[in-house]
Amino acid sequence: MTGDLAIKTAIVTGGGSGVGAELARSLASKGVTVFVAGRRVAQLEAVAAENDLIFPVAVDVADQASVEGLIQTVVEQAGAPDLVIANAGMAESAPFTRTTLDAWQKNMDVNLTGTFHTFQQALRVMDVTKPARLIAIASTAALKGYGYVAPYCAAKHGVVGLVRALAAEFARSALTVNAICPGFTDTPMLEQSIANIAQKTGMSPDAARASLAKINPQNRFITPREIAETVLWLCSEHAGSITGQAISVSGGEI
């Protein structure tokens, strides 16, 4: 055990920036060994350079063999993980009638199938007789609909369904399975969304930013640290009865 945390070895996909990087920093600060995984190796290495307990591993979560390789690397270097966070994700916007099948499939491959691969391969090595955690970083788009991002909403709703199914399947074990559903969060992905809105609508970047912030009743963006603190709570020794939940971190939006 690490402090009051029930875990000691973690995997964070999408760990090179934004929420994933903050998750890695927060966990490592508590003494957890963290493997940050993703496609952008330089970003992963930059995060790993911040703390000796963080290690970079290249992975494509949409590819089963790649995820198998990630799990094998972790087991060889640190033993089986007891915390796995499926954080890798992507989003693109388009009117539904102009959404291509390729765009739909890409969203499913990364956001939903990527979570499936990550959790399935991890569960094949995890010891669920001891405290263990699976956490999906979903979105408020897993709990409601947003226009122009139908594939993203559908995929994230699927993630919550997967979480609830696994929580039921493993309810009699020491494993908990939860989703965290943040509202718009201050990350590089948000900056891309703001740029897209500005380009497509003619808004200034500041106006586009304000239009997204006001969706949150607190009129602000969620911080990566707030999501990390929610993860730390779920990983505490005293959170063993919290499972199958989709936890909204959204300033009251949901």
Over residues 192-226, the pLDDT tens digits come to 889 888 888 899 999 999 999 999 999 999 999 99
Q: Which is nearest to 187 in space by CA: 227, 235, 231?
A: 227
Q: What is the pLDDT of residue 1?
A: 45
Q: Which is nearest to 149 in space by CA: 182, 112, 216, 103?
A: 103
Element (H, E) at 177: strand 175-182
Instruction: State the angle between helix axes of 188-201 and 205-213 in degrees (0 to 180), rounded to the nearest 10.
Output: 120
- Annotated catalytic residues are 152
% of the chain surpassing 90 pLDDT: 92
Q: What is the largest CA-CA distance in the chain?
A: 55
Q: What is the pLDDT of residue 73?
A: 99
The residues that bridge with 13 in the sheet, in sequence order, are: 37
Q: What is the pLDDT of residue 3?
A: 55
Full set of structural domains in the chain with CATH: 9-183+223-249 (3.40.50.720)
Element (H, E) at 43: helix 41-48
pLDDT digits (tens, 9 = 90+) for 225-244: 999 999 999 999 999 999 99
**Which residue has tokens 């709570």?**
233
pLDDT digits (tens, 9 = 90+) for 145-187: 999 999 999 999 999 999 999 999 999 999 999 999 999 999 9
In whole angstroms, give the CA distance from residue 44 to residue 58: 8
Confidence of residue 144 (pLDDT cuts 50, 70, 90): very high
Mean pLDDT of the 73-102 span: 97
Q: Give the number of other CB atoms < 10 A from CB of residue 200.
A: 12
Q: Evaluate if residue 55 carries a pLDDT over 50.
A: yes
Non-local (6+) Cβ contacts of 56 within 8 A are 15, 16, 35, 36, 37, 41, 44, 45, 47, 48
Q: What is the pLDDT of residue 189?
A: 87
**How is residue 111 annotated by DSSP?**
I
C-beta of residue 44 within 8 angstroms of C-beta of residue 25: no
